[in-house]
Amino acid sequence: MSTQPTISPANAAARADSQPVEMLLNMGPQHPSTHGVFRMVLWVDGEKIIDVEPHIGYLHRGSEKLCEGEQYHQIVTLFDRMDYIGNFNNELAYCMAVESLMGVAVPERAEYIRVILCELNRIASHLLYVGTMGLDAGAMTPVMFSFRGRERVQALFEAVSGARMMHNYFRVGGLKEDVPDNFRQLVDELMPLLREDVEQSDRILTFNEIFLSRLKDVSPISADEAIALGLTGPLLRACGYEYDVRKAQPYSVYDRFNFDVPVGLDGDCWDRHWVRVQEMYESLRIVEQAMAQLPDGPVASPLGRRLIRPPAGEVYVRAENPRGEIGVYLVSDGTDKPYRLKVRPPSFCNLSALRRLLRDTWLADSVVVLGSLDIVLGEVDR
Amino acid sequence: MSFLIDLGWSALGLAVMFLALSVIVLSMVWLERKTLGRLQRRYGPTRTGMFGLMQPIADAVKLIIKEDIIPEDSEKAIFWIAPVIVVVSAFIIWVTIPGGDNAVVRNLPLGLFYIVAFAVIGILGLVLAGWGSANKYGIMGGLRSAAQLISYEIPVVLVAAAVAILAQSLDMREIVSQQATLPYIALMPLGFVVFFIAGLAEVGRTPFDIYHAESEVVGGPFVEYSGAHWSVFFLAEYINTFAIAALTALLFLGGWGGPALPDVVWFLLKTYAVVLVVFWVRGTFPRLRIDQLMSFAWKVMVPLSFYTVISAAVYRFYEWPWWSLTLMSAAGLAVAGWIIYRRMTAPVRRVAEVRARVAAMRRSS
């Protein structure tokens, strides 16, 4: 039991004040609230956190290297398995990268269906976040409400793509196949129910007095610092900085929809929560508009099902994932397989702020802060 | 000879009490799962017997036949004795908690004092369990439980003292018979609220389930326990919940007093009503943080319980009419409730204010 400390405490003054009660606390990879196989070694003084050392890599599968050995159409499945909560968003980012390298125009109907599915996926992802945030804060009911909504979305995804999670539905230049004939009816049935589920899991948690006192003013961060740390997505917007790739550099058909980018005030845990909840309402708005505008026409890629060989060159494409900005850097040497494929995963970059965010917090806050980062280990470790 | 007969009756009474409590715990497990299920818009257990009534028995069988793992590094003796301490202290107070005019193992003239005194022993078991299991989460949970339970013991004891002042007795039977005309909740609404909230903290129920918080210390003192050892803690926790509910019913809701039905039935009705509220709270609220819990205890609960005692004493001393105490208590409850509500919702108001200002700025620019 005489483990030597493997980390150097950042706050030497805090150490000097309280010599005898410090200890190393290993949290994870099998801790119930580290959201997968994340591990952090906490240096604690009683209930106070002095420092934290994150350990990642328990879910490393070498996805980027694997991409180099697969043909372009096959790589979509690997992207499904990176951020396994926001599958469609990930597929979209990859497909856009190859499309921009090849200069392929995607059929309009395919773009709309992509947006609809991506926004529904964003809602499903944020619903998962709300539920697990409730669990982290000790409330057991929100997860039941939010998973009901998530289940409904996944049923729609299954009807569309045949799979609840690993869809493999987007193709370079289009979609695998058109949506089922009753797609419009399915979405029309889903929307009011989904809105009800979002509202329920919002109402039971967001303004609850105990939840507020647990999350408000916990690990606040300024917008400057957030940018310096490379935070994106809801974490950056919670600081009051209005940055959303869908608005800043509209891709697909996002410039045709009317939606707001919710921003927080203080950049604390509660603002992160609030921003995500508001994003769900905005996504519902986008889906409604996209369904109203959904055109007829082909969805299949103009490239057909042939083997594709993008011209030699490189491209960097970014998109707004539920967790933040995903970047795909693709280098092609003109063969049927990418020469190099590098992903900028939002979870990984957001997680790098953990040490800063956990400064001067309580042990009980550590799970809440980690929950507010909303990481997916499949994407962190790749 | 009479001593032996006495002993025999006591043994019989204890056996009946043990059986009754076991059945009550089983019923509470079922009730909790069903209540939470309904609160969360699902069914709860349905597959084990009618309405899933056999679910607690299935749970118990599963727990008992599980392997009982004792960690290598644990202090074996302490690890073994800790659950015993917890469960004994949970059972021992029931000796003098009456479930009806005669449904009590041994009614003591100092019954309330006895209950308050012996309920504290359980803390020792929790601390020892955390310490003995040689686990950092266990130690943290154990120390959390010591801090939490001792802090909340004070409001519980003080409010119980206020009740004793009103009833001029520590005899549980006497306290209940004093409430035949007017239950004490009508006299001391503040005392009732303080007692119930402190009682929730005392048994470690949501929102005060901090010492065994699953998402933070992964079960706290119980983290290394499994099988039958763990189920003993579980048993003790439910008995304690029922005890707090029963004490709330006895001290404030008029105990077994009520028309038409037998006294035990009234007692059970009132106690289960309080238990349902406990489950309802569990299905609704998140968990407080340990520092918030402690400041709530020392800055809110303890002053309010002092106020309760003093107002009860003043009312007794000057022989004022009964509604004067109600007024004093209700006024205290209203003021305290308003202050706490303002404090806790302050962030929401601030957020709304700043958002309105930002929106106005955007419009003007």
User: Residue A10 has what pLDDT?
Assistant: 47
ipTM: 0.83
Q: Read out DSSP for B258-294?
A: -SSS-HHHHHHHHHHHHHHHHHHHHHH-----HHHHH
Whether residue A15 has pLDDT greater than 60? no
Closest CA to A268 of A347, A346, A344, A360: A360
Q: List chain A residues with CB under 8 Å of B291.
A: 47, 362
Inspect the interface and report whether the beta carbons of B355 and A47 lie closer than 8 Å: no
Q: What is the CATH number of the domain that holds A67?
A: 1.10.645.10
Q: Where does a domain end: B40, B65, B90?
A: B65
- For chain A, the three-class secondary structure string (H helix, E strand, C coil) is CCCCCCCCCCCHHHHHHCCCCEEEEEECCCCCCCCCCCEEEEEEECCEEEEEEEECCCCCCCHHHHHCCCCHHHHHHHHHCCCCCCHHHHHHHHHHHHHHHHCCCCCHHHHHHHHHHHHHHHHHHHHHHHHHHHHHHCCCCHHHHHHHHHHHHHHHHHHHHCCCCCCCCEECCEECCCCCCCHHHHHHHHHHHHHHHHHHHHHCCCCCHHHHHHHCCCCCCCHHHHHHHCCCCHHHHCCCCCCCHHHHCCCCCHHHCCCCCCCCCCCCHHHHHHHHHHHHHHHHHHHHHHHHHCCCCCCCCCCCCCCCCCCCEEEEEEEEECCEEEEEEEEECCCCCCCEEEEECHHHHHHCCHHHHCCCCEHHHHHHHHHHHCCCHHHHHC
Q: Read out DSSP for A183-209?
A: HHHHHHHHHHHHHHHHHHHHHTTTT-H
Q: List chain A residues with CB under 8 Å of B41.
A: 144-145, 148
Containing domain of residue B14, as a range? 1-65
Q: How far apart are the first and last CA of chain A?
A: 33
Residue B365 in domain: no
Residue A2 in domain: no
Does residue A34 sit in the same domain as residue A183? Answer: no
Do residues B116 and B108 lie in contact, with contact meaning Cβ atoms separated by under 8 Å? no
Of A141, A270, A364, the CB nearest to B289: A364
Secondary structure of residue A111 in the 3-state scheme? helix
Q: List chain B residues with CB under 8 Å of A212.
A: 344-345, 347-348
Q: Where does a domain end: B21, B45, B65?
A: B65
Q: What is the mean predicted confidence (pLDDT) over B26-49?
A: 89
User: Residue A118 has what pLDDT?
Assistant: 92
Does residue B208 sit in the same domain as residue B91? Answer: yes
- A→B interface, C-beta within 8 Å: 1, 23, 25-26, 31-33, 47, 134-141, 144-145, 148, 204-205, 207-214, 216-217, 265, 270, 274, 362-367
Of B214, B283, B286, the CB nearest to A210: B286
Residue A1 in domain: no
Give the rounded percent of residues in chain A with a pLDDT score beyond 70.
95
User: Residue A1 has what pLDDT?
Assistant: 37
User: Residue A128 has what pLDDT?
Assistant: 92
Taking the CA of residue B143 and the nearest CA in chain A, the distance in Å comes to: 10
Question: Please, what is the Cα angle at A60 between A35 and A138, to 5 degrees?
Answer: 5
Residue B364 in domain: no
Residue A193 in domain: yes
Containing domain of residue A40, as a range? 12-55
Does residue B29 sit in the same domain as residue B159? Answer: no
Of B137, B218, B283, the CB nearest to A140: B283
Interface test with A, best of B351, B353, B358, B361 (most A CBs within 10 A): B351
Does residue B39 sit in the same domain as residue B132? Answer: no
Whether residue B169 has pLDDT greater than 80? yes
Q: What is the mean predicted confidence (pLDDT) over B63-67?
A: 87
Interface test with B, best of A23, A34, A144 (most B CBs within 10 A): A144
Inspect the interface and report whether the beta carbons of A148 and B41 lie closer than 8 Å: yes
Does residue A43 sit in the same domain as residue A161? Answer: no
| Domains contained in chain B, number | 2
Q: Mind listing the pLDDT tens digit for each residue in B192-240?
A: 999 999 999 888 888 888 888 778 888 888 888 888 888 888 888 899 9
Of A32, A137, A270, the CB nearest to B286: A137
Whether residue A316 has pLDDT greater than 90? yes
| Domains contained in chain A, number | 2
Burial class (CB in 10 A: 0-12, 13-18, 19+), B319: exposed
Q: Mind listing the pLDDT tens digit for each residue in A234-281?
A: 999 888 888 889 888 888 888 888 888 888 888 888 889 989 998 998
Q: Is the pTM higher than 0.80? A: yes
Q: What are phi and psi of B135, to 5 degrees?
A: -135, 135
Inspect the interface and report whether the beta carbons of B215 and A136 lie closer than 8 Å: yes
Does residue A118 sit in the same domain as residue A28? Answer: no
Inspect the interface and report whether the beta carbons of B282 and A209 lie closer than 8 Å: no
Does residue A231 sit in the same domain as residue A278? Answer: yes
Taking the CA of residue A250 and the nearest CA in chain B, the distance in Å comes to: 22
Does residue A267 sit in the same domain as residue A309? Answer: yes
Give the rounded percent of residues in chain B with a pLDDT score beyond 90.
17
Q: What is the mean predicted confidence (pLDDT) over B62-81?
A: 86
Q: Is the dihedral of CA A130, A132, A137, A139 positive or negative?
A: positive
Whether residue B362 has pLDDT greater than 70? no
- B→A interface, C-beta within 8 Å: 36, 39-42, 73, 134, 136-137, 140, 144, 206-207, 209-210, 213-218, 282-292, 341, 344-345, 347-348, 351, 354-355
Residue B360 in domain: no
Q: Mind listing the pLDDT tens digit for each residue in A168-205?
A: 898 888 888 888 889 989 999 999 999 999 988 888 88
Residue B363 in domain: no
User: Residue B41 has what pLDDT?
Assistant: 86
Does residue A118 sit in the same domain as residue A43? Answer: no
